[in-house]
């Protein structure tokens, strides 16, 4: 402990390089497991490591645990068009309406990433065949474009016709199966541009068995965006700027979590997005409260967890904010040792890969 009563954090842990690991390209999963719950599950509980499959998850949750799922739905946010008048190919990745973090199919002005960025300055027009066009009206920090749509069809019809679910760039598989499986079985609230991938493994059977065991299942919504998937480019963690992501917490979820915390029961987060929503809310309000908000929280060494006791998570990219979050939660050396074992055991990595069940460092 230091003189202020906070844990001492080694300076190396505050650098991006401390979260590097070697990963063979062939371990980056290009397609999902044949059955969602047939993916592998590495259990990191205390100092022990077990190698199981995801359908075994109910063995590791306890009666009275509260499992929190993210019920966001990925939208078909990757749009292809042509630049006017040259006809050159253009890609937009829609993030959220310009005036709000909340998905709104009535909005005509959106924030987006654009390719090729150098050719899409303000004044550029992008055509989408017979569906309409969009004008680039402003350039913002981090390469974001502000785009105004003029469409001849409703916006959701436009997305259904011209858009695709935005699978990550390391997945070279845009098949109908990949598109279908890049959505959780409980996806309900549209607004994300990336999936909460830890929840892609859940099946109705797994959820039914958890409920039968006495696990309470509740939901939050966090719209996954740049805050989750933008890579770190800074050398030090404190130099990385996190983008805000919108979340919503229902009154029933607030009550269930408050009761469980008061009774000493565990809160289990399905994914880093749930961790960010719950801990971001608690960091702002002192506890989990119902309502809408946004969080730009970067969970890194030194952070004090107020809510989450255990988490389900996929295997993340080297030097990513998500790996930093999991390492802060469970201990960097402990997590990196588990990652090395996962590589040796030929686990499948990233969005379509395998999963971990992890308890917080120091938790019994």
Give 16-35 pLDDT, tens digit per residue.
Answer: 999 999 999 999 999 999 99
By percentage, how much of the chain surpasses pLDDT 90? 90
CA dist 31 and 54 (Å) reads 16
pLDDT of residue 47: 79
Residue 309 is classified by DSSP as S
Neighbouring CB atoms inside 10 A of 192's CB total 28
Which position has the higher pLDDT, 226 or 28? 28
Least confident of 220-229, 241-250, 289-298: 220-229
pLDDT of residue 70: 98
Domain boundaries of the chain, sorted by first residue: 11-74+179-359, 78-164
Give me the residues paired with residue 236 across strands.
15
pLDDT of residue 6: 40
Give 165-181 pLDDT, tens digit per residue.
Answer: 999 999 999 999 999 99
pLDDT of residue 141: 77
Which position has the higher pLDDT, 203 or 233? 203
Q: Which listed CATH number (3.40.50.300, 3.90.1150.10, 3.40.1780.10, 3.40.50.1110) goes with 11-74+179-359?
A: 3.40.1780.10
Mean pLDDT of 200-220: 98
Task: Look at residue 3 and tell me whether its pLDDT is greater than 60.
Answer: no
pLDDT mean across residues, the chain = 94
Give 89-121 pLDDT, tens digit per residue.
Answer: 999 999 999 999 999 999 999 999 999 988 899
pLDDT of residue 31: 97
Mean pLDDT of 250-275: 98
Q: CA nearest 108: which of 174, 154, 54, 176?
A: 154
Task: Look at residue 4 and tell me whether its pLDDT is greater than 70.
Answer: no
pLDDT of residue 9: 67
Structural contact between residues 34 and 238, judged by C-beta atoms closer than 8 angstroms: no
Task: Look at residue 344 and tell me whether its pLDDT is greater than 80.
Answer: yes
pTM: 0.94
pLDDT of residue 316: 96
3-state secondary structure of 315: coil
Domain 78-164 in the same topology as domain 11-74+179-359:
no
pLDDT of residue 1: 42
Mean pLDDT of 81-93: 95
pLDDT of residue 205: 98
| Structure-block tokens of residue 237 | 């963690």
CA dist 199 and 85 (Å) reads 43
Q: CA nearest 128: which of 105, 146, 103, 151?
A: 151
Task: Look at residue 8 and tell me whether its pLDDT is greater than 70.
Answer: no
| Helix, strand, coil share of the chain (percent; to 5) | 30, 30, 40
CA dist 135 and 83 (Å) reads 10
Structural contact between residues 29 and 348, judged by C-beta atoms closer than 8 angstroms: yes
CA dist 257 and 290 (Å) reads 11
CATH of domain 78-164: 2.40.10.240
Mean pLDDT of 354-360: 97
Q: CA nearest 308: which of 354, 337, 270?
A: 270
């Amino acid at each position: 402990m230091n003189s202020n009563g906070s844990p001492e954090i080694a300076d190396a842990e505050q650098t991006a390089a401390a979260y590097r690991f070697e990963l063979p390209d062939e371990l980056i999963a290009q397609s999902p497991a044949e059955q969602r719950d047939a993916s592998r599950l590495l259990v990191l509980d205390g100092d022990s490591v077990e190698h199981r499959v995801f359908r075994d998850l109910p063995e590791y949750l306890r009666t009275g645990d509260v499992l929190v799922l993210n019920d966001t739905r990925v939208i078909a946010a990757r749009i292809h068009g042509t630049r006017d008048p040259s006809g050159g190919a253009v890609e937009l990745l829609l993030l959220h309406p310009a005036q709000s973090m909340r998905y709104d199919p009535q909005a005509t002005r959106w924030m987006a990433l654009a390719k090729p960025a150098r050719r899409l300055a303000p004044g550029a027009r992008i055509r989408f065949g017979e569906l309409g066009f969009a004008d680039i009206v402003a350039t913002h920090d981090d390469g974001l474009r502000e785009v105004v749509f003029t469409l001849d069809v409703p916006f959701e019809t436009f997305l259904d016709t011209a858009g695709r679910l935005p699978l990550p760039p390391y997945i070279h598989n845009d098949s109908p199966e990949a598109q279908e499986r890049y959505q959780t079985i409980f996806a309900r609230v549209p607004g994300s541009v990336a999936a909460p991938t830890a929840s892609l493994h859940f099946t109705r059977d797994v959820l039914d068995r958890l409920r039968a065991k006495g696990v309470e299942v509740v939901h939050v919504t966090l719209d996954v965006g740049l805050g989750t998937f933008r890579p770190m480019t800074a050398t030090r963690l404190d130099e990385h700027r996190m983008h805000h992501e919108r979340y919503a917490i229902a009154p029933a979820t607030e009550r269930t979590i408050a009761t469980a915390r008061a009774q000493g029961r565990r809160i289990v987060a399905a994914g880093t997005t749930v961790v960010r929503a719950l801990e971001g809310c608690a960091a702002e309000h002192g506890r989990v409260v119902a309502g809408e908000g946004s969080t730009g929280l970067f969970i890194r060494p030194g952070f004090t967890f107020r809510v989450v006791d255990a988490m389900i998570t996929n295997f993340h990219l080297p030097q990513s904010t998500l790996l930093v979050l999991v390492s802060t939660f469970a201990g960097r050396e402990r997590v990196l040792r588990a990652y090395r074992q996962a590589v040796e055991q030929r686990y499948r990595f990233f969005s379509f890969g395998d999963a971990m069940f992890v308890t917080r460092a120091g938790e019994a």
